[in-house]
Structure 1
Amino acid sequence: MIRILHTADLHLDAPFPQLGEKAAQRQDDLLKTFERLLTLAIKNETHLFVVAGDLFDHPRPESALVGRVQAGLKRLADRGILPVLIPGTHDNVIAPDSVYRRHEFPGALVLQGPLVEEPARLDVQGTPVFLYGFAYRSSLSEGALASMRRRADEGIHIGLLHGSREGSPEWDYRKKDLPFNLALLKELNLDYLALGHYHAFETLTDEGRLWACYPGSPEGKMFGENGPRHCALVSVAPHQAKVEKLPCNTRTLEEKSLDLSGCPGEAEAAAAIAALSAPDLLLRLTLTGVVEAPLDLARLRAFLEERFFHLDLIDRTAIFDSHFARRIEEEETVRGLFVRRARRRMAAAATAEREVLEEAFREILVRFRAFGGGES
């Protein structure tokens, strides 16, 4: 039996323009997570460190970053742990100046042929281990999946595959993707398939046996990749594999909703949001409920930003039916006229249009307050 630390989709050097001044810090988070994965591989006395594609977010990462990665992989190799890499869809080898064409990764095995001519062979504690993997190019990789078929009965046979599983919740096939299904993977008759490309953790089992695993992204890259992130610690023997999820992320992304019904003003809304805070949290928070005063999201975000690593506020509150809106509706003022006209338009609107009108209504009332139209 051998042990593998299996990861994929690290997306090192990914840009984070939405984070502004914190973008560089978030890029460093991804590198810290990579280094944490190296430590986990050493701590768990693994034999292989497998990256099933998209180690980098694009084919031309910064040279300084490549140097950090090279040093990390050599650190493993010096301890007798073999790093095994395949290019993915983001860090593909199509361009002549791709990172895998421009740089060597000393001590690592990079499987970047367009298909598997012959599996790479090594010996782990006297057991022959065969590694199957390729860098997909739509023009050169015809039959590449079939080329991963097990070659011999002896030893342990492990595949690396960056592709799209048909039927997955993440299924969204594009030309540059490599589609497959579980039935096809079973035909390859490998002992374990280390998958990459989809960012959610998923094991593929059938007939009481684990065939393959997506470890998911080890660090959330965007909202939707929420909560704890993992790598896979895999024990592999002939015709059997066992996976253990290991948490590995540096920061956490979350998406939540907060009902502000009954909050009389922004101070109370700010207190309710602050109760959800954590310094390493990236939070997308949708605000709902009937509020008594329009919320100034820019002011709320600025007031609360030091309590979170990043705070994204989405306003889905309703103010048409608030006491505040009904009171100013009776005013002989510009804002009173606006509320009366908006209410008539809202009453005649379809559901989709009502959402747009509600958003516009909130924004305009915020502006009224900003220019001295607040409650007395």
Structure 2
Amino acid sequence: MIKILHLSDIHMGSGFSHGRINPTTGLNTRLEDFVNTLSICIDRALTDAVDMVIFGGDAFPDATPPPYVQQAFASQFRRLMDANIPTVLLVGNHDQHSQGQGGASLNIYRTLGVPGFVVGDTLTTHCIETRNGKVQVITLPWLTRSTLMTRQETEGSSLAQVNQLLTERLRVVLEGEIRHLDPDVPTILLAHLMSDNATLGAERFLAVGKGFTLPLSLLTRPCFDYVALGHVHRHQNLNKSNNPPVIYPGSIERVDFSEEKEDKGYVMIELERGKVEWEFCPLTVRTFRTIEVDVSKADDPQGVLMKAIAKY
């Protein structure tokens, strides 16, 4: 069995408004939260001696994070390189420029030729050699309408018609990759997308008008042993038959209060051709708590607020 760690939607550098400056380090406490949580994921990969790590996209809030945020991200993933653990970094919508081209925040790993690191910014198949055998990983980065169609082709069409045409066009391209798969090697589809039956959270507001929704039927193919998704921040398995499992691990930290009640974590996978076992591994992350207080009739609103907060 090939052991794999699947995580997604790190968003390192987001949520600063929910933190404060740590006077000792000079860093925002929310950045420290994200780094600590990511380090727990990497610790597990090293402790369990996984054969591969796959990341489902959205490393940062945008394509050009500050250098100190990039350094915090790189210092954790460097540990995988040092341990000779192959890693696939998929490009999500937040990793792309606003024009929807490339994965600016992740392409540095390919430009520098970081050993064992694959950047998935195109729809293609990567054959990865691990300590326990080969794995085929089809990378499907975040796609925009302009990736598959021209403005002239969509002119005069309804949104539903455009969606249908885009899906069919993607189906053809994906079929081309499937035809070249080795049927004896386990296969993972690693995709950053919005599936039509996913339970959405904050991400529904983060990609309005930029992407399109794909049907689950496009993903539940017998040639895939495991479908690793990114983009939706709530952990869920979209295919209850588990044939194959279609898994959003969710984000590793709460990005805002819309995720207050969501569990956060990553997924551990044991894989061979035609057989897969997976487990969601919860992470202990900072609690977001909404405290409702009515101060409309209070003589001392500040005092009432402070008293309510003190209860927690």
Is the CA contact 1:130–1:157 (under 8 Å) kept in the aligned structure 2? yes
State TM-score, norm by structure 2: 0.76
Is the CA contact 1:52–1:161 (under 8 Å) kept in the aligned structure 2? yes
- Residue 70 of structure 1 corresponds to 74
Q: How far 1:286 sits from its partner (Å)?
A: 2.5
Is the CA contact 1:128–1:154 (under 8 Å) kept in the aligned structure 2? no
State TM-score, norm by structure 1: 0.64
Greater CA drift, 74-83 or 207-216: 207-216
Secondary structure at the aligned position of 1:32 is classed as helix
**C-alpha distance in 2 between matches for 1:241 and 1:97:** 30
- Residue 232 of structure 2 corresponds to 198
The 1:25/1:110 distance shift into structure 2, 3 A limit, reads same
Larger Rg: 1
The 1:160/1:224 distance shift into structure 2, 3 A limit, reads same
The amino acid that maps onto 1:140 is T
Paired residues, what number? 274
**C-alpha distance in 1 between matches for 2:307 and 2:43:** 38
Is the CA contact 2:291–2:309 (under 8 Å) kept in the aligned structure 1? no
The amino acid that maps onto 1:165 is S
Is the CA contact 1:92–1:135 (under 8 Å) kept in the aligned structure 2? no
Q: Which of 119, 130, 140 is 2:136 aligned to? A: 130
The amino acid that maps onto 2:37 is T
Give the percent of matched residue pairs that are identical in Structure 1 and Structure 2.
Answer: 21
Summarize deviations over 1:146-165 as a string: whole Å, max 9, x none. 54443231111111111111
User: In the alignment, does 2:86 pair up with 1:82?
Assistant: yes
Is the CA contact 2:8–2:231 (under 8 Å) kept in the aligned structure 1? yes
**C-alpha distance in 2 between matches for 1:227 and 1:164:** 18
**C-alpha distance in 1 between matches for 2:277 and 2:196:** 23
Q: Which of 223, 228, 232 is 1:189 aligned to? A: 223
Secondary structure at the aligned position of 1:140 is classed as helix
As a proportion of its length, which structure holds more strand? 1
The 1:307/1:102 distance shift into structure 2, 3 A limit, reads farther
**C-alpha distance in 2 between matches for 1:146 and 1:79:** 38
- Residue 8 of structure 1 corresponds to 8
Is the CA contact 2:96–2:102 (under 8 Å) kept in the aligned structure 1? no
Gaps in structure 1 of 5+ consecutive residues:
254-282, 309-376
User: In the alignment, does 2:147 pair up with 1:140?
Assistant: yes
Q: Which of 155, 173, 176 is 2:210 aligned to? A: 176
The 1:27/1:74 distance shift into structure 2, 3 A limit, reads closer
Q: How far 1:101 sits from its partner (Å)?
A: 4.0
Q: How far 1:242 sits from its partner (Å)?
A: 1.8
**C-alpha distance in 1 between matches for 2:16 and 2:147:** 33
**C-alpha distance in 1 between matches for 2:70 and 2:79:** 14
User: In the alignment, does 2:253 pair up with 1:244?
Assistant: no
Gaps in structure 2 of 5+ consecutive residues:
150-168
Q: How far 1:300 sits from its partner (Å)?
A: 3.6
The structure whose RCO (Cα within 8 Å, separation 6+) is larger is 2
The 1:34/1:292 distance shift into structure 2, 3 A limit, reads closer
